[in-house]
Amino acid sequence: MSKYRQLQNIFIDRIEVNQYIGLDTSILFYNKLQESIQKPLKMILLYGKPGTGKSVLINKIYHDTKDKRNVFLISTPIQQEEEFIKKLYTFLLPESTLPEDLTYNKFIDICNALKEKKHITVLLDEAQLYSSSMMEKIRLISDTRTIKFVVSLHKTEKEDLIAKEHFQSRIWETIELKNGTIHDTNMYVQKKLIQQNYFEIANMFRKNNIRLIHKFTKGNYREINKLMFTLFEIYDYYETNKPSKIAGSNIKNKYLEMSALKLGYINA
């Protein structure tokens, strides 16, 4: 596999905890969320635009704390109420004790009975996909104080409304994730490359390249991944077909602009 094809793989958008990039802002959010989990809160709302690193952060928190504390993750929303309740039950008690006729009301009773004995934290990723009635039930479960929920959702007007309706009185802590600054963009690109031992490639990115990347992606990590993937796709093409065009020790802005054109960030 050519060098640039391998580089494309680094920037494929996926959640891998071992590839977590500790940027200044993401470390700040990480610490904030860790502190919030330790507090006796019913619910914590984690929100932000898509691509700001919510899922990565929630996964990182889960992997770092699952052994120390009772933290559980539901990364894909479970739409069926029955399934959802069963899942929560297995977090609280051994699966072998799971009653066959477990209803929502029964589960609430179990939670109330365990109030003083057990406390767990459940991380709910992509929570905007839960229905309103399901959200209402999650809210009531949190009232028992046996299960604390960290709800991660996209920030849109609709989702803001959900947050207002269901959690306003319950949410004690909100963490809003934002796009990265130009410094974050630089560190993200550099660290991603260094992590995989591509020091020479990391050195090829100059300030003007980073400024352009930040301008096109507005510091959104998902968009940075897309842009970098396309950039290395273009470099891979030239390396195979016209290697002289990519000679030099710097990344050419031309190819960044071509990537941006392909992704529709700019128009000809």
Partner 1 sequence: MLEIDKLEREWLRYRLKRIKPWIFLSITLLLTVATAVWVTKSGYNSTLKGGGNEKVKIAVQTAATATDASSNVESVSATVEKESVTKSEKVVERKPKEAVSQTAPQEKETTKEQMRSAEAGEPGVILNPDTGFMESLSAPKKERRPQKVYRAVETAREETVSSSTIDRPKSSTVEKSADTETEVKKKNSENTGGSGLQILSTKTNNTLQLLIKRFNRNNDPKLASYIAQSYYKKGDYKEAVKWSVAANSLDPSGEESWLIFARAKVKLGKRDEAVKALRVYLNQYSSRKVRSYLRRLESKE
Q: Which is nearer to partner 1, 86 or 245 (CB)?
A: 245
- Taking CA 157 as the corner, what is the angle to CA 153 and CA 85, rounded to the nearest 5 degrees? 35
What is the closest distance, in whole angstroms, from the C-beta atom of residue 258 to partner 1 in the complex? Answer: 5
Q: What is the C-alpha separation between 179 and 196, in angstroms, rounded?
A: 24
| Residue 196 CB, nearest approach to partner 1 (Å) | 12
Helix (H, G, I), strand (E, B) or coil at 221: helix
Query: Which of the stretches 64-72, 90-98, 126-134, 236-244 binds partner 1 when contact is defined by CB under 8 A?
Result: 236-244
x/- contact string, 44-63, with partner 1 (CB under 8 A)? --------------------
For residue 181, state whether it binds partner 1 (rule: CB under 8 A). no
Instruction: Output the CA–CA distances (angstroms, integers) from residue 167 to 30, 217, 237, in the order listed.
Output: 22, 32, 50
Binding residue for partner 1, selected from 63, 119, 203, 211, defined by CB under 8 A: 203
Name the minimum Å distance from CB 199 to partner 1.
4
Contact 184, 12 (CB under 8 A): no
By the rule CB under 8 A, 200 interacts with partner 1: yes
Range list of β-strands (E), the chain: 43-48, 71-74, 120-124, 147-154, 171-177
Size of the site for partner 1 (CB under 8 A): 24
Contacts for 81 with CB less than 8 Å, ≥ 6 apart: 104, 134, 137
Q: Which residues contact partner 1 by CB under 8 A?
A: 24, 183, 187, 191, 194, 197, 199-200, 202-203, 233-234, 237-238, 241, 249, 254, 257-258, 261-262, 266-268
